Structure 1
Amino acid sequence: MTGADTRVVVVGAGLAGLTAAVELATAGADVTVLEARQRVGGRMHGIPMSSTVIADGGAAYLGVRHTELLAMIRENGLGLASTEMLGDSTFLLSDERTTTASRVPPLDAVALGDLFDRLESLVAEVCAEAPWASPRAEYLDGLTVARWVAEELEHPAARAFFPMFIGEMMAADPARISVLHMAFYLRSGGGIRYLNAFKGGAQEWRIDGGAHQLCEALARRLGNRIRLGRDVDAVEQIGDGVLVHSTSTVDGMASEHRADYVVVAIPPLLAQQIEFRPGLPAPRATPATGRGCAVKVHLSYPSPIWREHGLSGWSVSSDGPLLSTVDDSPSDLSAGILTGFVTGAAAASFSALSLPEKADAVLAHARKLFPQLPAPTRCSVTDWLADRYSKGCYAALFGPGDWMRLGPTLTEPHGRVHWAGTETSLEFFGLMEGAIRSGRRAAHELIYGADVAADSRKATAQ
């Protein structure tokens, strides 16, 4: 990129797009960010639970390995809240409720150990820098996780536990993702033990006051460079420039935005809906690419009452809707917030319910999990499957054949079009850390050139 008059349009004001935009603006580019929603943040979204408490409706947790995210939090004057949980875990397996000091469900330990050994072997096979080049990549990418479970897991305890585990880790339906995608996701995030851990792991902290604050802080640095309510329809490369066509989500008016370059920083299923002229040499998503199967539920109480009963608020259930819950109460204990996760196959059927039906199902399940508690003062449901401008959460799910078809071109520029978004990051794919790294990669491709940016990434990784 040369000169301060270089114009760049960034499509999407999630964490990746905002990161790219700030980097580019700092380098002197004339940046415009187009966002279809009437807010910034994308899959980082604050849900007001009271006049003073905001819960994380989307991305929330981070750990010590998320170095770019931690640095950005510090730079923007934000703090961390510990997720440390004191008290017993609750398990509701086959309608039988138990509590224990352990976070390991009361299932056959040998069977669970064998399951994790098999998963670790798969993870070790994956080439982190190029999953599509892994040994047996084509075979693993053509095999669904559900089929792998049917062929590899014989013990009923392992089969019962696996959907709960993969739902919590990836918000995935085993029938919709490839084994290669599962193994890559677990490796990209730091490995099974790191991803699954609170203390010392990927879920050690939350951003105090809500993760949405980080995107709002980045947006303040960009000011009027951000245009909300602009849904991008087409990206047309003409000569030595780009013409970005958008439609107002308020009044339907069409607009054109001229630029020298474009950074597309939205999920693959949304990027696939944009008309590119000339057309893309490879798709951003295929019919096999799925939505992240996550619905997030928040139950509010006057205080973390469960702690008075010796419970941590953390639970796992074999049947939905709430496959897991966690204590996300604010650090000042001004309220008690239980966050519930409806994930995997259960999310699709739950998403199809009406809002009153969703609330009824959640409250009935909460009574089974925590019969000691009164009714919550508020129940909030954030349905990412039904979200028009995310199409799922935590991240897109790569189905059979997707890595072999999509992987090699995930980050390859299409002329003057560059790509960002957590799904384009081979490090911490699906996480906030991956979003930041992808945004910086895309910006650095324009600032320094693709080759220099690639060399910089390799040096950082080493």
Structure 2
Amino acid sequence: MRGDTMRVVIVGAGLAGLTAAVELVAAGAEVTVLEARDRVGGRMHGISATATAVADGGAAYLGVRHTALLEQVEEYGLHLASTGMVGDSTFLVSDRRTTTASRVPPLDAVALGDLFDRLEDLVASVRPDAPWSSPQAERLDRVTAARWLADEVTHPDARTFFPLFLGEMMAADPAAISVLHMAFYLRSGGGIRYLNAFEGGAQQWRIDGGAHLLCEALGDRLGDRIRLSSPVAAIEQGDDGVLVRCVADEDGRSSEYRADRVVVAVPPLLAERIDFLPGLRTPRATAATGRGCAVKVHLGYPDPVWRQSGLSGWSVSTDGPLLSTVDDSPPDGSAGVLTGFVTGAEAIAYSALPGDRQKEAALAHTHRLFPQLPPPTHFAVTDWLREKYSRGCYAALFGPGDWLQLGPTLTEPHGRVHWAGTETSLEFFGLMEGAIRSGRRVATELIHGAESAIPSRKVLSR
């Protein structure tokens, strides 16, 4: 970094914003991080699943290709826990319960194979570096994944499995995303086989004690540079810098921060709610852009009691609310944590229920899956659809037309305003790895003086 010290305000203390902040501080910048919540971490959040065990309420899994994330895990002295499963899988298909050593649901194997062959061909046709420039991009971005399924797949078993697969991979309802977004997401993450795999895949490990520990470690390094409970309302820029204005508190007072540059590191739907002056040339989200539809349910037990019956805790159901479950118990088995995933359209319906009904529905489903289990000692729901400062999880869902409209300017600075967040990363879009890479990218832009036309307004001299 050359010349006078650069002042940077970063909006959002999720993994992308924290990564960018640490990189910029190391380069000599004066950094302030504004976070709307009363904690750091964004969509990485630890939940008390038992009296002694913390589980991931948000982002959780990583694999060997997630090199930037693994570097941070090592740098901050964190440890990995294997997600390797021992025991049989449980399937609840049309209310018929079966257990088997296989992780493949008891559906027609030929039909599922044909579905994946078609998906593989589709994924291979998308440009990972510029999906909006892919062959047939206009057609693929107009059509929803649900329409593609109706047109391309006839076997009922494949049609049953498809929304379960997209729910697990993307927390998406097929009717809410474009085919281009589906294909790009799967390619960006390393391909279908890698994303879907535990051993050797994108779900090989989780961070022991919770992924939120990484964000807390980054936050500790930044110290009092972070301002919590500081939601940003407006970003006003001109020739002489940027003014960032926070939402007024209960007393009507609004904090203001001046900077040379701003990094907006929040999901697109949140960025779109910020008042930019001058206004954005292209939006960060459109009416078609959706929330990642994910709710996580954690059931806590004194120990992983399902293992006593030879079960792994892994399950798949064709009906909700718990479309899948997984054993997230501590590596030493000191407690039992069963995590249930409610995704896609099921998540929307489940989120609309009052808390007591959510618990009742989840426990009833768990009893159908694992009738031998006692009642859990702990129960927790993390409803990302209701999270005001996330607007969904795992990541924003790009609907029809979004990639053609939003894609080319995802990372293009708006004057002194720069962009970060996993939704701005063309590598591992939607994953923790993508968030880190986006934070490093934007820090490099600022450190090496990437320029963009500054709107001709002197708004900060008053």
TM-score where L is the length of structure 2: 0.96
CA distance in 2, matches of 1:317, 1:272: 36
- Equivalent residue for 1:168? 168
- C-alpha distance after superposition, 1:374-395 (max 9, x if no partner): 0111110000001000000000
2:28 maps to a residue whose letter is G
- Any conservation in 2 of the 1:8–1:31 contact (CA below 8 Å)? yes
CA distance in 2, matches of 1:223, 1:292: 31
> 2:303 corresponds to which residue?
303
What is the percent sequence identity of the aligned residues? Answer: 75
Identify unmatched segments of 5+ residues in structure 1. Answer: 452-462
**Could you list the per-position Cα deviations for residues 315-367 of structure 1 after superposition, in whole angstroms to 9, with x for gaps in the alignment?**
00000000000000001211000000000111101000001110000000000
Q: How many angstroms does 1:239 deviate by?
A: 1.7
Structure 1 counterpart SS, 2:287:
coil
Q: Which amino acid aligns with 2:316?
A: V
**Conservation of the 8 A alpha-carbon contact between 1:3 and 1:28:** no
**1 CA distance for matches of 2:347 and 2:2?**
47
What residue in structure 2 maps to residue 355 of structure 1?
A: 355
| Secondary structure, aligned partner of 1:356 | helix
1:121 aligns with 2:121: yes
Deviation at 1:4, TM superposition (A): 5.5
Deviation at 1:253, TM superposition (A): 2.5
Partner deviation per Cα, 1:169-196 (whole Å, 9 max, x = no partner): 0000000000000000000000000000
Q: What's the CA shift for 1:252?
A: 5.1
Task: Give RMSD over aligned pairs.
Answer: 1.0
* Mapped contact 1:229–1:250 kept (Cα < 8 A): no
Change in CA separation of 1:415 and 1:332 when aligned onto 2, cut-off 3 Å? same
- Please give the alpha-carbon distance, in whole angstroms, between the structure 2 residues aligned to 1:34 and 1:346: 33
Supply the distance in 2 between the matched residues of 1:449 and 1:431 (Cα, whole angstroms): 27
- CA deviation map 1:215-268 (0-9, x unaligned): 000000000000000010010002220000102567553111000000000000
Query: Mapping of 1:73-152 within 5 angstroms?
Result: 73-152=73-152
| Partner residue in 2 for 1:437 | 437
Q: Secondary structure of the equivalent of 1:330?
A: coil
Which range moved further: 251-260 or 123-132? 251-260
Question: 1:51: Cα distance to partner?
Answer: 3.8
Kindly indicate whether the alpha-carbon contact (under 8 Å) linking 1:230 and 1:249 is maintained by their aligned counterparts in 2. no
Aligned equivalents of 2:3 and 2:313: distance in 1? 54
**CA 144–94 in structure 1, closer or farther in 2 if over 3 Å, else same:** same
Partner of 1:240: 240
Three-state SS of the structure 2 residue aligned to 1:319 is coil
Measured in 2, the distance between the counterparts of 1:250 and 1:68 equals: 40
**Mapped partners of 1:51, 1:8: distance in 2:** 40
- Tell me what 2:205 maps to: 205
Q: For 1:244-263, what aligned pairs fall within 5 Å after superposition?
A: 244-247=244-247, 253-263=253-263
Match of 1:378 in 2: 378
Distance (Å, rounded) in 2 between the aligned partners of 1:24 and 1:245: 21
Counterpart of 1:215 in structure 2 is 215
For each residue in 1:266-319, what CA deviation from the matched residue of structure 2 results, as whole angstroms up to 9, or x when unmatched?
000000000111111100000000000000000001100101100000000000
Native 8 Å contact 1:3 1:29 kept in 2: no
The code of the aligned residue for 1:41 comes to G
Q: What is the distance in 2 between the residues matched to 1:349 and 1:235?
A: 36
Matched to 1:127, the amino acid is: R
